[in-house]
Amino acid sequence: MNQELTTKQKNVRNLIYLVMLLLLIFKYLIFKYSVLIPSYLFQVLEIAFLCIIFLIAKKNNIINKTSSVFYLIIAIVFITLFIFRNSPITNN
């Protein structure tokens, strides 16, 4: 299942994990300790940042297709369940 990675690839992957963890913490702290109106600018910056990370990962051949598809399916299931969540107010 796991493709063999060189030491350099492993280092890049670990670095990407670290960057993504920091991004996650940063996003959470912004959510928790700021006036909560997330700006579009921040979202654009975030998506640009993720695109750069993806390109770096792609360039270093770190992306694993099977795991990508697996997590993508899980995410789609979560989003679908979330869209159809119960509303406390019914529109009659």
Partner 1 sequence: MKLAYILTIGTFLFLGCTKENSTNKKLDISLLHQDKDFVTLISEANSIIDTSLNFTSGNLLSEIEFINHFKKAVNENDLNSRKIISSSLGFKNDTVFWNKRNYIKEKINLLNYKYDLTNISQFLISDAIKKQLNIEPFNQINSLRNKSNALEGPNCLQQFTNCRDNVTAAFAFDQVQCVMAGSLGWTGLGLLLFAACEASAYYKSYVGDRTCLINYNICLK
Q: By the 8 A CB rule, do 19 and 50 touch?
A: no
Binding of residue 63 to partner 1 (CB under 8 A)? yes
Q: Residues 44, 48, 52, 72: which binds partner 1 (CB under 8 A)? A: 72
The C-alpha atoms of residue 17 and residue 43 are separated, in whole angstroms, by: 20
What tokens does 69 get? 């598809």
Amino acid code (one letter) for 77:
V
Judged by the rule CB under 8 A, the positions of this chain that interact with partner 1 are 1-3, 5, 13-14, 16-18, 20-29, 31, 33-38, 43, 46-47, 50, 53-54, 57, 62-64, 66-68, 70-72, 74-75, 78-79, 82-83, 87-89, 91
